[in-house]
Amino acid sequence: EKPGLELAVVSVPSYACQRHTPLLHHNTTLTDALSILAENAELGENEGRGVAFRRAAALLKSLPQEVRGAEQLRGLPCLGEHSLRVIKEVLEDGVSHEVETTTHSEQFKAMKALTGIFGVGAKTADRWFREGIHTPSDLQRSGHTLNRAQRAGLQYYDELNLPVTKPEAVAIGQIVERAVHAVLPGAEITLIGGFRRGKQTGHDVDFLITHPDEGREEGLMRKVVSWLEAQGFLLYQKTTGNSYLESKEGPARPASNMDRFERCFSIFRLRTDNEGREIQTGTEIQTGDGSQTYSPTLTNTDPHTHSDTHPHTKTDSHPLPQTLVVVGDHAQKVSWVLGHSQCSGPRSWRAVRVDLVVSPYSQFAFALLGWTGSKLFERELRRWAVHEKAMTLSSHALYDRKRTQYLRASSEEEIFAHLGLEYIPPCDRNA
């Protein structure tokens, strides 16, 4: 009679890549609990345990209705002993003791806060935690030598931990498009990552760039980054991949399937007006009393990432309580609503993490599939390929080990077909 009893007889496939996993589902109380334990395992560098909790959570996300009792879980895959115990506890008591203990633990809180700094991984955070550093402020006071990424991460800590909204992602996309088309007309830009899966917010914005004429994309990233830097759009960037371009004596280009994509981890300086719209380059911004003129191409607080630092940039981290206005024909008030620790006054821009990837056209479908996520969905695709099909899937290619050949694809649909899987659209890859 219980409405959910039929769940037990519905057969649910065990790989997340065989299932539709929408963004919104019916079991968030359970999946939130499991996600905390997964996160804790990952922060403790216990990857296997993390994956087990993630798989259990993903299974629950794919169910067509709310689980109300443990008896409904009979026969379902992916639910290990530990996950089942946690699920039962939440179903019976509303909370799990282990989850509560974890979220309140000093170590978990500190590890989350420290790995929340861009450029800081679990290993580094753990080392700092053992030294008594529990917060970004502790770290700042510690006088530790930080690398360039970590300095930027600390400087923009609060902003980078604010979710990026869809309108902000769209605004970033317009900037990326302008940059890419300025240096390579005809190039194609695709929004990837969580936003492609339909998420309304993200921790960053991800883009894949390619060009229909194979080869034209070579060296593109450096040109795009130069353009963005010249326009004052970048607060930080680190570009990797295809390093042979750096010197003419560099190693020969490896076979195409061995390529590592050119990619760029960056922090954008996204100009915003009070509607969250990006302000066009060249717009003059003045403080209310007209005492300071901000040239958007020069305002930059990090002397390490930008050579022509503006003398007034100190006001970015310690602004006077002024209202910034956009002067010109469309003068309007600019209000900055972010709660930056060092910045209580209004500001006309925010920092946003952006990932850029360039792929050759022939690998585009693989790159698109590989960078759309979710991370667990990707992991499950690769696991399916290896264990069920004797194939190796990467963001570059699909290799059939029985036929000893690469399988070409120009769309994600073709890759799913090669893998013998039903096509799962991006919005259902939220495993």
> Which residue, 358 or 419, is less far from Mn ion as judged by CB?
358
- Inter-CA distances, 263 with 190, 228, 274, 348, Å: 14, 14, 32, 28
> Which residue, 188 or 355, is less far from ligand GTP as judged by CB?
355
Side chain identity at residue 135, one-letter code: T
Hey, which residues between 233 and 292 contact ligand GTP (CB under 6 A)? Answer: none
- Is 206 assigned a catalytic role? yes
> Which residue, 126 or 378, is less far from ligand GTP as judged by CB?
378
Residue matched to tokens 């893998």? 419
> Which residue, 206 or 229, is less far from Mn ion as judged by CB?
206
- Inter-CA distances, 299 with 3, 37, 113, Å: 59, 42, 28
Q: How far apart are CA 74 and CA 88, in angstroms?
A: 12
Selected from 199, 211, 271, 347, the binder of ligand GTP by CB under 6 A is: 199
The neighbour count for residue 123, using CB atoms within 10 Å, is: 10
* 204, 273, 302, 316: the active-site residue: 204
Q: Does 374 bind ligand GTP (CB under 6 A)?
A: yes
- Is 329 assigned a catalytic role? no
Phi/psi class of residue 94: alpha, beta or left (left: φ > 0; alpha: ψ in -120 to 50)? left
> Which residue, 29 or 165, is less far from ligand GTP as judged by CB?
165
Residue 395, contacted partner among Mn ion, ligand GTP, none, CB below 5-8 A by kind: ligand GTP
Q: Does 346 bind ligand GTP (CB under 6 A)?
A: no
Q: How far apart are CA 3 and CA 5, in angstroms?
A: 6
Minimum distance of Mn ion from residue 15's CB (angstroms)? 23
Q: Does 193 bind Mn ion (CB under 5 A)?
A: yes
Is the Cβ–Cβ distance between 177 and 170 less than 8 Å?
Answer: no
Residue 378, contacted partner among Mn ion, ligand GTP, none, CB below 5-8 A by kind: ligand GTP
Binding pattern to Mn ion, positions 326-365, x when CB under 5 A? Answer: -----------------------------x----------
Is the Cβ–Cβ distance between 211 and 217 less than 8 Å?
Answer: yes
The neighbour count for residue 152, using CB atoms within 10 Å, is: 27
Alpha helices in 119-165 (DSSP H): 122-130, 136-142, 148-155, 157-160
Q: How far apart are CA 118 and CA 234, in angstroms?
A: 15
Q: Does 202 bind ligand GTP (CB under 6 A)?
A: yes
Q: Does 204 bind Mn ion (CB under 5 A)?
A: yes
Minimum distance of ligand GTP from residue 261's CB (angstroms)? 8
Give bridge partners of residue 189 from the DSSP assignment.
209
Minimum distance of ligand GTP from residue 315's CB (angstroms)? 31
- Is 400 assigned a catalytic role? no
Q: Going by C-beta distance under 8 Å and a sequence separation of 6 or more, which residues neighbour residue 203?
A: 160, 163, 164, 194, 353
> Which residue, 136 or 202, is less far from Mn ion as judged by CB?
202
Q: Does 136 bind ligand GTP (CB under 6 A)?
A: no
Instruction: Choose the stretch contacting ligand GTP; rule: CB under 6 A; options: 28-36, 369-377, 398-406, 413-421.
Output: 369-377
Q: How far apart are CA 241 and CA 260, in angstroms?
A: 6
Mind giving me the DSSP string for 22-90?
-SS-S-HHHHHHHHHHHHHHHHTT-HHHHHHHHHHHHHHHTSSS---SGGGGTT-SS--HHHHHHHHHH
Selected from 159, 206, 229, 316, the binder of Mn ion by CB under 5 A is: 206
Q: Does 378 bind ligand GTP (CB under 6 A)?
A: yes
Residue 278, contacted partner among ligand GTP, Mn ion, none, CB below 5-8 A by kind: none
Give bridge partners of residue 282 from the DSSP assignment.
none
CA max distance for the chain: 74
* 158, 355, 400, 428: the active-site residue: 355
Instruction: Choose the stretch contacting ligand GTP; rule: CB under 6 A; options: 110-118, 193-201, 246-254, 282-290.
Output: 193-201
φ, ψ of residue 429 in degrees (nearest 5): -105, 25
Side chain identity at residue 287, one-letter code: T
Catalytic residues: 204, 206, 355
Note the residues at the interface with ligand GTP (CB under 6 A).
193-194, 199, 202-204, 206, 355, 370-371, 373-375, 378, 395
Note the residues at the interface with Mn ion (CB under 5 A).
193-194, 202, 204, 206, 355
